[in-house]
Structure 1
């Protein structure tokens, strides 16, 4: 059977990560070469610099609630994106090891039935991927053009409120600063979205491997299978299960701090964005940018929680699949080995952020409820 290319769905993701300096070539981490120099320059200038100037500006406008909320919901997300960039670079060896494991023989589907079985999960990931990018591109587009579309009394308006050590009210510094903000936004958004969808895809891979191992167990004792091969095939299944657990642990190791940073700021950011929707002119370009950003943040959290929840559900299915297989007529030795395997699979795999937050649908609902609470608090303070 032809080898199945698991990384095919990640080609667009990997290309974007390469452009922003977050994917060294091959299966190794950064080396002293031209690409590393590009990564240092692009991250420093566009990721760090863009965040730095906006954070400095927040110090000067801290006593203005409207101005702070106008800046905070974007700045918080961009700071979180900068943290994602840092932890991707820091954990690059772990990430490349995951890619190597994904291409190993152990993770290969055994037949066309198993390939067909895992395709719906990847299709749903693609749907979320397209929705996430569509909402994010919509927000970036309206942020980029609203100074022109919304006739403001301010002269030389910029897409984002920021402080710069030069005069942005004169040409050509205004045009250059405007271009810098747009490029910074594109680099930060591309890095953040690609990392988010990459982590979601890793969770899809884990769930797909549990689907494959469940299918292997279900058909382990099919009529016509040689009885002397039961133990050999069962040992292969146990090794496969152990590799999946190791893959999941490495995924958690890579994504721990990224998911923690995302979850910590998501509720507040969504709440501030909802409040900002009530403060801007209805149906203006700024209004649509806030609306698109709210939807993109919601899809982002949903991807984390849905596919993390799928890992837990599919890993817990392994135990029940054992009892669906035709093991009753096998030898006592095989039965003992099956019982031993069931005992190993009792605890389902849970994807988490340092064991503080679990990637489940319950967590998703908690974040949405917290976001609404923040919105209600800001609306009440603003009304007073």
Structure 2
């Protein structure tokens, strides 16, 4: 079989480059080796301000909620905001780690034409989802910040925050309260960008396994640029060289995925702990909200969709990494290994045995990052919902 000698290269996607530029522009990330005093001050300001914003929502739950569905609504916001606070801090203080992983994982080459086109289509579909997800997030945040306060005859805010001034009667205090909620929503969007970056790293880990499987499948096959016949010994040497490169690439890829797992494992564990509760609470508020509060209902719909999307994306991509890694073993024995000398086949068999266990990511050394975990969390959310539903009867 003749294969193309052209190396197809993946680069960090333009959407991710735009997100990186945005993080530099708003001083979440610093330029240069070390942050200046001003840049360090901005980082601390973002962390402390968002923590105070979350604290004001928590106090609002305690002092302002009059009904069960109001308490559950605001409590869901608090839980989500706490997770987002952790994401924001990781995004701010792990800048070097994130940028290094983006460059090491997002830039690579694939030799197999068919594999490259399949990976490219998957990447296009992924970024269509990311763009839709970002637009929905920005629109919801803008609606909650700038539209909700002016709907209806009475002044209102999207979140029941504890505010020191009487914003219901004083115009200046009302403007300050709007600024508070809008900046909190703004930092929420920034924190969500960390999720998108993690998704990007995970999908490229999966695609790199796909690329490795494609390269292993065509190991030892001559390219279009090779003219004339090659001696059998030369062909064996080409196969052996390709096999060595695949072994090195596989070891490097496992190391990179371990680094991604180390970066994201704690936040994934936190999400697994709270996602079921948030999904249950959002569903309960949507099902039993008798206040006819359309604003809360729309925000509940977004929170329900957000929690499902977050949970589904990380478990789906983790599951895809596991499946892609398992295909490398099959691809190895789809190559022309049987035409190689016995000394080479010995390495093929050893490498094949090493590839047999699929690469499964674990969260907190307890939960496999697979779709089965997604189903279990949804089932737990449904069970909690049935318990709450029983209290209504």
TM-score by length of 1: 0.88
User: Shift of the alpha carbon at 1:380?
Assistant: 2.6
How far apart are the structure 1 equivalents of 2:246 and 2:198?
A: 25
**SS state at 1:164 partner:** coil
How far apart are the structure 2 equivalents of 1:141 and 1:83?
A: 22
How far apart are the structure 2 equivalents of 1:108 and 1:4?
A: 6
Larger-gyration structure (1/2): 2
Alignment equivalent of 1:41, drawn from 36, 42, 45: 45
Gaps (5+ residues) in structure 2?
A: 1-6, 223-229
Q: Does 1:58 align with 2:54?
A: no
- Give the superposed CA RMSD: 2.5
Alignment equivalent of 1:266, drawn from 275, 285, 296: 275
Specify the alignment match of 1:80 in structure 2: 83
Alignment equivalent of 2:246, drawn from 234, 237, 258: 237
8 Å CA contact 1:114–1:215 kept in 2: the answer is yes
8 Å CA contact 2:91–2:191 kept in 1: the answer is no
How far apart are the structure 2 equivalents of 1:331 and 1:44?
A: 64
How far apart are the structure 1 equivalents of 2:305 and 2:257?
A: 29
User: Shift of the alpha carbon at 1:304?
Assistant: 0.8
User: Shift of the alpha carbon at 1:331?
Assistant: 1.0
Structure-2 change in CA distance of 1:61 and 1:286 (3 Å): closer
Q: Deviations for 1:266-287, whole angstroms, at most 9, x for unmatched residues? A: 1111111111113155582332
User: Shift of the alpha carbon at 1:196?
Assistant: 1.2
User: Shift of the alpha carbon at 1:261?
Assistant: 1.3
Q: Deviations for 1:236-292, whole angstroms, at most 9, x for unmatched residues? A: 111100110001000000001111111211111111111111315558233222112
Specify the alignment match of 1:285 in structure 2: 295
**SS state at 1:328 partner:** helix
Gaps (5+ residues) in structure 1?
A: none
Which has the larger displacement, 367-376 or 337-346?
367-376
Specify the alignment match of 1:25 in structure 2: 31
How many matched pairs?
Answer: 374
Q: Does 1:370 align with 2:380?
A: yes
How far apart are the structure 1 equivalents of 2:112 and 2:339?
A: 25
How far apart are the structure 2 equivalents of 1:167 and 1:351?
A: 50
User: Shift of the alpha carbon at 1:21?
Assistant: 4.5
8 Å CA contact 2:220–2:238 kept in 1: the answer is no
User: Shift of the alpha carbon at 1:317?
Assistant: 0.8
Specify the alignment match of 1:315 in structure 2: 325
Q: Deviations for 1:355-383, whole angstroms, at most 9, x for unmatched residues? A: 222221111112222222222322332x2
Structure-2 change in CA distance of 1:37 and 1:174 (3 Å): same
Higher relative contact order (CA 8 A, sep 6+): 1
TM-score by length of 2: 0.86
Q: Deviations for 1:323-354, whole angstroms, at most 9, x for unmatched residues? A: 11111111112101111211221221122322
How far apart are the structure 2 equivalents of 1:296 and 1:238?
A: 39
Which has the larger displacement, 345-354 or 173-182?
345-354
